[in-house]
């Protein structure tokens, strides 16, 4: 069964064809990073206009690369939320139109839930559940516990900024490029992670929640005091503080829930220091670690199509009255 997936929740226009929920036949992602770079962040009006201009071409390219005719598609899955309303509308409405034209089911997919299951897709490891999963991106920092596909609960989440947001804001303070995460990752390699003692907020808090706004403020104060900082040291020390917290809390969540598998997804999970530290900690404790390749960590339609397949298997197709839900959370499905 082939599912066409559509993702337009933020600034990537993406379409993919996935067979039987695991075989990625194509995953086309058109990034708008260059478009938004001059503004140092995503401009919603520009994003939606660009999605509108690109969506047809991106879908055609996805079908072409998958060697799949339009009428061979068995269902159309699209992100309905969370994300930017004007961006979500383009993908969801395009998906509705295609599902009507095909007389095939429409499957609305929660973007965070798709991130949660994307490491399973990457490793064809749907047997790895239950798992503790860290979703760490520009918009979210969530620790979830999943027992089966579609069955999960939230263990904790950020009480203020998302980790990726902190990377992007600190990069801005340092006048680095956008998006900031990859820039900090690169510069940190030449810096000393122990040079500056930035706070590890909520690391010792018994909850599984996170907080990153204090860390961002600490970097701001440090930069006010030091007019000519060693940028590599600031990057390495800031990154180390984020990584210590997210890795420490993920491992503790695995211990608290007796999970044998840990996974991570979302843009920040590409971070090289994060990957090294989480791999080492999981190795030490005999935990199975599933990390997705970068193409499945950042926003992509393959994860939407894959989860769409499983939703369809579970009889969860959507009504055509489905609306975009910009602020929907991951939700709890026991
Ligand atoms: O998952 P994603 O593409 O979009 C959202 O759903 O938010 O994540 C984008 C975020 C940005 O904040 C970006 O700075 C961050 O992921 N990011 C990184 C790295 N690559 C991307 N953060 C730290 N290190 C990286 N290597
Ligand atoms: Zn995302």
Domains of the chain from N-terminus onward: 2-114+296-313 (3.30.420.40), 128-293 (3.30.420.40)
User: Ligand 1 mean position to 271 CA, how many Å?
Assistant: 8
Instruction: Quote the pLDDT of residue 56.
Output: 97
pLDDT tens digits for range 222-249: 999 999 999 999 999 999 999 999 999 9
Please give the mean pLDDT across all residues of the chain.
96
Report pTM.
0.94
Which ligand 1 atom minimizes the distance to the CA of 239?
23
pLDDT tens digits for range 19-69: 999 999 999 999 888 888 888 888 899 989 999 999 999 999 999 999 999
Which ligand 1 atom minimizes the distance to the CA of 140?
7
What is the average per-residue pLDDT within 261-284?
97
What is the average per-residue pLDDT within 182-197?
98
Sign for the CA dihedral angle at 235, 236, 239, 241 comes to negative
Beta carbons within 10 angstroms of residue 118's beta carbon? 29
Which ligand 1 atom minimizes the distance to the CA of 179?
14
Is the Cβ atom of 268 under 6 angstroms away from ligand 1?
yes
User: Ligand 2 mean position to 310 CA, how many Å?
Assistant: 19
Instruction: Quote the pLDDT of residue 204.
Output: 93
* Closest to 157 measured CA to CA, from 309, 334, 333, 331: 331
* pLDDT for residue 334 is more than 80: no
Tokens of 281: 């900690």
By most ligand atoms within 8 Å of CB, the mutation choice from 111, 137, 295 for ligand 1 is 137
């Amino acid at each position: 069964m082939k599912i066409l997936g559509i993702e337009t929740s933020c600034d990537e226009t993406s379409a993919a064809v996935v067979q039987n929920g695991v075989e990625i036949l194509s995953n086309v992602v058109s990034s708008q990073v260059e478009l938004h770079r001059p503004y140092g962040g995503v401009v919603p009006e520009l994003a939606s206009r660009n999605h509108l201009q690109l969506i047809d071409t991106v879908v055609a390219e996805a079908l072409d690369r998958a060697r799949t005719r339009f009428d061979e598609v068995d269902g159309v899955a699209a992100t309905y939320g969370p994300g930017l309303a004007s961006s979500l509308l383009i993908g969801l409405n395009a998906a509705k139109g295609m599902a009507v034209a095909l007389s095939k089911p429409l499957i609305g997919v929660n973007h965070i839930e798709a991130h949660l299951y994307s490491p399973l897709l990457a490793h064809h490891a749907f047997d790895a559940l239950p798992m503790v999963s860290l979703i760490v991106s520009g918009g979210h920092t969530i620790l979830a516990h999943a027992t089966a596909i579609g069955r999960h609960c939230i263990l904790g989440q950020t009480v203020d900024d998302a980790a990726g947001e902190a990377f992007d804001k600190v990069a801005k303070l340092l006048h680095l490029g956008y998006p900031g995460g990859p820039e900090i990752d690169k510069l940190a390699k030449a810096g000393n992670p122990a040079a500056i003692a930035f706070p590890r907020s909520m690391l010792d808090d018994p909850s599984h929640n996170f907080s990153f706004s204090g860390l961002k403020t600490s970097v701001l104060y440090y930069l006010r005091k030091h007019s000519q900082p060693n940028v590599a040291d600031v990057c390495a020390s800031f990154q180390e503080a984020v990584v210590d917290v997210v890795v420490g809390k993920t491992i503790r969540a695995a211990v608290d829930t007796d999970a044998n598998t840990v996974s991570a997804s979302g843009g920040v999970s590409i971070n090289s220091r994060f990957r090294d530290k989480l791999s080492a900690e999981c190795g030490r404790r005999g935990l199975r670690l599933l990390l997705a390749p970068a193409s499945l960590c950042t926003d992509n339609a393959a994860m939407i199509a894959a989860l769409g397949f499983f939703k369809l298997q579970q009889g969860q197709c959507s009504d055509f009255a489905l609306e975009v839900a910009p602020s929907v959370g991951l939700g709890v499905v026991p």
